[in-house]
Structure 1
Amino acid sequence: MDFHCHLDLYPNAREVFARTVERNTFTWLVTTSPRAFTATSRVLGGHVNVLITPGLHPEIVHERHGELDNLLEQIEHVSAVGEIGLDGSKRFQHSYEMQRKVFATTVAQCAAVGGRVLSIHSRQAVKDVLSVLADHPGFGTAVLHWFTGTAAELKAASDMGCWFSIGPAAFNSASGKALARKMPRDRVVPESDGPFAQVNGTTVMPWSSDDTARLLAHAWDLGVDEVKLSLESNSRRLIGVINAAG
């Protein structure tokens, strides 16, 4: 399973998609813009085990904020939304206020239509992400992907009921390993974040969940089989939440 993947952005997307359909029982294909959602749904849509969702990635908000109305309309017809969120890193500070407006409006729309499951980017912006979510308590369920905040921010997010999607690349750093150890074990699901995520210079693929399980087993000091069962159980529960939304 893979709960956060940019399948449409692999160089050989059709081939990777076909292999993913064969190997995964569920893949959440997050898109970066409303137009990308429309195009990807047309080209790769229709498979029962692949969920394609509309989003507006914070890294391109400065270029694509004009598509916000399209996103708000798309949200009415889907059960989940992603990738959305905030990026407070220095590279994207120039668009941060616009990001906040887009994210808050998106979350408000999710609340207005009865709640959605959200795959959220929160790099160097966890406090603001959680604040926006708190302002719209009916937004649904938050899945914080590749969480890189502080231990205190992790606890705050966990206390709010957030889920966490994590992949092999999250373990590239000591801080990533430390955060993995503290994540709520009943609200962690596997992701790849491919093709952007890499391990030892190699692109992470959508069928990397066994690698994630092995890395989490080490972090949690548990057996690999036990962690695999836990991830499978968590995944089924989250898929149930997605299916119940919208």
Structure 2
Amino acid sequence: MIDFHCHLDLYPKAKEVYAESLRRNAFTWLVTTSPKAFRATSSVLGRHETVLISPGLHPEIVSERFEELDLLTAQIDDAIAVGEIGLDGSKRYAASYLKQKQVFSAAVKRCHDMGGRALSIHSRQAVPDVLELLRLFPDHGVPVLHWFTGTASELKTAIGQGCWFSIGPAAFISSAGKALARKLPRDRVLPESDGPFAQLDGRSVMPWDFDITVALLSDVWSLPFEEVRAQLLSNARMFVNKIGYTKLIKKLI
């Protein structure tokens, strides 16, 4: 099983979920919501080659954690991946939008300056600004737009800029989500859970729910389950190779 966007540290009984992920998953990308959370999670859960823990500063909490920006940019220096970062243009977070742009711009610039990183990016109602900031710092690395909900035009632009897309079961609940999933470039799609926040049938999506995503994509792409599964595993191998996490290649075969 594989999971390219998971808040594993925020599940109830996180240590148990972590242990189960080590048992079940060949790879789990654990995105954190703040630099201090990254530091604590790395210490409490420990490090394992199949779990990539990345520093981030979630746009939804920028207003409370803005002072951690310098810590984030420092942590990027020693990371191969960054996330969750990005912008949220919804009305609920409008008051912090300028600070969000400061944080995201600083993070992308640092990735650019350091020769590139993998980035797991939140872009709700802010896709044009996200893509513009990525364009301004072209050596940022490999961007993954997590749970993309932009327009068809924005999707086309994102594809043109080399973006990847992570998607999980909760993205298929709406008809609009299914329609967008149908248009994603099949060779740049990665599975995610976005647990514990993402819900399916009244429960949190788990890091090992990979095959649920495969089945849902199989339906919207009108392809056999095994073909979709093979495609996502191939994408995963290509992605971890691009970001230099090559010790995982054999585990993902």
TM-score (norm 1): 0.98
CA contact (8 A) 1:119 1:143 kept: yes
Corresponding residue SS for 2:244: helix
Q: Which runs of 5+ in 1 are unaligned?
A: none
Aligned residues: 245
Q: Which runs of 5+ in 2 are unaligned?
A: 247-253
Could you tell me how far 1:159 is from its partner in structure 2? 1.1
- CA distance in structure 1 between the aligned counterparts of 2:165 and 2:74, rounded to whole angstroms: 27
- CA distance in structure 2 between the aligned counterparts of 1:135 and 1:244, rounded to whole angstroms: 26
- CA distance in structure 1 between the aligned counterparts of 2:114 and 2:102, rounded to whole angstroms: 19
Q: Give the aligned CA root-mean-square deviation in angstroms.
A: 0.9
- CA distance in structure 2 between the aligned counterparts of 1:84 and 1:2, rounded to whole angstroms: 17
Structure 2: which amino acid aligns with 1:229? A
Structure 1: which amino acid aligns with 2:7? H
Could you tell me how far 1:23 is from its partner in structure 2? 0.5
- CA distance in structure 1 between the aligned counterparts of 2:54 and 2:245, rounded to whole angstroms: 15
Could you tell me how far 1:242 is from its partner in structure 2? 2.1
- CA distance in structure 1 between the aligned counterparts of 2:6 and 2:131, rounded to whole angstroms: 23
- CA distance in structure 2 between the aligned counterparts of 1:159 and 1:113, rounded to whole angstroms: 23
% identity of equivalent residues: 63
For residues 66-107 of structure 1, give each alpha carbon's deviation from its aligned partner in whole angstroms, at most 9, with x where no partner exists.
Answer: 000001110000100000000000100010011011100110
- Alpha carbons of structure 1 residues 6 and 244: separation in structure 2 relative to 1, 3 Å: closer
CA contact (8 A) 1:75 1:110 kept: yes
Could you tell me how far 1:47 is from its partner in structure 2? 1.1
For residues 141-187 of structure 1, give each alpha carbon's deviation from its aligned partner in whole angstroms, at most 9, with x where no partner exists.
Answer: 10000001111111110111100000000001111100100000000
Structure 1 ranges of 4+ moved more than 6 A: none
For residues 108-159 of structure 1, give each alpha carbon's deviation from its aligned partner in whole angstroms, at most 9, with x where no partner exists.
Answer: 0100010001000000000100000000001011000000111111111011
Corresponding residue SS for 1:37: helix
- CA distance in structure 2 between the aligned counterparts of 1:218 and 1:204, rounded to whole angstroms: 19
Which residue is 2:251 aligned to?
Answer: none
TM-score (norm 2): 0.95
- CA distance in structure 2 between the aligned counterparts of 1:45 and 1:121, rounded to whole angstroms: 25
